Structure 1
């Protein structure tokens, strides 16, 4: 419990700074995932939005169905890692908020 208005203001400012830090950290998340055969690399941000896509000559050996499957699975893996990183940041924030 806070005893003075100054303590309350300080506490609220600290929480705002922590929220700003959390927002900035989440904004810096970029995850890159490469398919097992190395033919597809997908890069996503912290919202699991694709921000980069790279193909090697290995895609020439894939059928259209295999290419689609490889692309989707690689993008899904990148998205899962990005969301996990974001969740870890939020969990840390929440655990520090309860202290």
Structure 2
């Protein structure tokens, strides 16, 4: 193998590695949040859908505990769905670049 084809191979591998590193960094940085319909609950999740923050309004005193639990769960679900969409966007873009190579 001559130097030129080897250089091209190394450059291609380096480019793909850099794309993978960028995608991994983007996946790690994903944060998504959702607010409940009544605006009293806000949930933030990471790229895996794991909660990283929960904010509750001070006006929850009139809310039944079961309703609050359901509201938190639904809001967390919406935030996790948004994180999953972003994760899918990043991985699809990464895989598309490999199809181009």
Name the TM-score, length of structure 1 as normaliser: 0.93
Q: Which residue of 2 aligns with 1:72?
A: 73
Give runs of ≥4 in structure 1 deviating > 6 Å.
none
Deviations 1:17-56 (A, max 9, x none): 0000001111111111110111111000111111111000
Unpaired segments ≥5 residues, structure 2: none
Alignment of 1:1-99 (within 5 A): 4-99=5-100
Uncovered stretches (5+) of structure 1, i.e. residues with no partner: none
SS where residue 52 of structure 1 aligns? strand
Q: Is the partner of 1:47 in helix, strand or coil?
A: coil
* Paired positions, count: 97
Return the alpha-carbon distance in structure 2 between the equivalents of residues 16 and 96 of structure 1: 12
SS of 1:9's equivalent?
helix
In 1: Cα distance, 2:60 partner to 2:21 partner: 42
Is the CA contact (8 Å cut-off) linking 1:38 and 1:58 kept in structure 2? no
Contact conserved, 1:40 with 1:59, CA < 8 A, in 2?
Answer: no
SS of 1:44's partner is strand
CA apart distance, 1:58? 2.8
Distance between the aligned counterparts of 2:64 and 2:37, measured in 1?
16
What is the TM-score normalised by the length of structure 2? 0.91
